[in-house]
Amino acid sequence: MPRSHLVSEQNTHILLKLPLEILIYLAFNYLDYDTATKFIAIALRSSAALSVELNHRERSIKNLSQAYHDNQKRYSDYSLTTDISAGPDSSFYFSSGRWFGCGFIPWREQLEVNTPQALTLQYSRQFIFNFWPTSPQPLKPIKIACSNLETLFLTASGDVYIARSNEASSSWCFGFAKLVLEKLSIKDVADICAGCDHFLLRTKNGKVYSFGNNRHGQLGLGNFLENASTPELIQELADKKIMSIFAGGDHSFCISDHNEIYGFGWNEFGQLGTKTTARSQYTPLPIEAFGKEIITDIALGFNHTIFLIQTGIMYSCGENSTGKLGLGNFEDPERPTQISHLAHYKIVMVATGDAHTVCLTDNGQVFGFGNCERGQLGLECKETNIPMPISSLPDKIIKIVAGDYHTLCLSTQRIAYAFGQNKNGQLGLGHSKDEYLPHKITPVTETVSPAPASPR
């Protein structure tokens, strides 16, 4: 029964005989704001509810007003966007205590939603005759990592779930489509990340596992297997305590507690930033280009890499045909090269797509460079090899993420902005037209619940 139906003509006269304080409590805990306001307005006009001393009545009204505004502010703050994430052709927003998503994920169900829809994630170990389990457990992921083929969800308890096909043991909803969740066997996971077709997982004790496509060694497991369908421990790093993991394109990086950097995977354009001339690096290789400098972030594009050191200086290497290295040229450096055009700014965050790069300064300003033919830089140009400020963003920014050809920004006001390619609805604007300037995103508030699974 809708909450508004709790108050009807038949029971209103009974409720109005209650003390005003009790009416206030019941209204704010069991009614929506609109209904609560209307009901209490009736209560204030009722002689039964106001048969108290005048000063007591005034205090009650004052407390009512304060309680209303406090609750309204809490609700308003709760409904703001507090986190963002991006897949190759999808976007995710965290708001009102849950994740919303839009865009395209290639599964057995062709999934495409052009407005942010609430993700309902449920998992259950028990099945009865292959039907939907009677008591599915809701999942509340704290991080999402999306590749071209699959999506990982990390929970606060350290469990990881993967959305694969519809033949596993649970379901999740993205818009109106049902996908399946499978719980991975690795426990106490602290972080996850995704490349084009591979994943890395880092446990709380610093061990790294990988799975997915290994055609260029991006799993770091050696060259004896082409793919890994389940997470495998990277033995070459087993004696290290890894603190950070990064994946993108067909290459990967890990950083240890002693600031040791290891890279592996595709290296045809020098995107690993090491002296090796091998096109594919199948085991973790130390990256010694930075000496004692502390690396705080690494962003991996399709064939390029951006390194961010603690002082806020950025270095880039790899393929540079669109100027996405920000070096003012189109050469492909095999060693990390400082992005001198941003030397006077302190960079705190960096994100990369297939052919573009965006970075965030400590004062909330965003710069972009590389390809902009689909609007992914939020600039009125097709390409730039020099970092350019994205002045069309109306607020200071605190977080940036990038898909293949689109970009998301989160402001200090907890407002999300999106721009770039939109052919799959990944911008969440209700249409599929590319956008060249930032647009505000508002997640849809209604939750879409999973339908029962069909018997096999």
**Does 48 have pLDDT greater than 50?**
no
Mean pLDDT of 89-115: 76
Comparison of pLDDT for 274 and 175, the residue scoring more: 274
- Residue 164: its pLDDT value, please? 66
Mean pLDDT of the residues in the chain: 82
Amino acid found at 175: G
**Does 59 have pLDDT greater than 70?**
no
- List the domain boundaries for the chain: 3-78
Burial degree of 96 (CB within 10 A; 0-12, 13-18, 19+): middle
pLDDT grade for 131, boundaries at 50, 70 and 90: very low
Comparison of pLDDT for 253 and 53, the residue scoring more: 253
pLDDT grade for 205, boundaries at 50, 70 and 90: very high
pLDDT grade for 49, boundaries at 50, 70 and 90: very low
Q: Comparing C-alpha atoms, which of 97, 67, 95, 65 is closest to residue 80?
A: 95
Q: Identify any residues that bridge with 252 across adjacent strands, giving them in sequence order.
A: 247, 264
Who contacts 326 (Cβ-Cβ below 8 Å, separation ≥6)?
Answer: 314, 316, 339, 341, 342, 357, 369, 370, 385, 386, 387
Q: Comparing C-alpha atoms, which of 226, 204, 207 is closest to residue 215?
A: 226
Cα–Cα separations (whole angstroms), residue 79 to 73, 88, 154, 262, 397: 10, 26, 22, 40, 18
pLDDT, one tens digit per residue, over 211-251 is 999 999 999 999 877 899 999 999 999 999 999 999 999 99
Sheet strands (E) in 276-341: 280-286, 295-300, 304-309, 314-318, 337-338
- Residue 168: its pLDDT value, please? 38
Residues above pLDDT 70, as percent of the chain: 72
**Does 172 have pLDDT greater than 50?**
no
Q: Comparing C-alpha atoms, which of 225, 193, 320 is closest to residue 268?
A: 320
- Residue 81: its pLDDT value, please? 86
Mean pLDDT of 380-402: 96
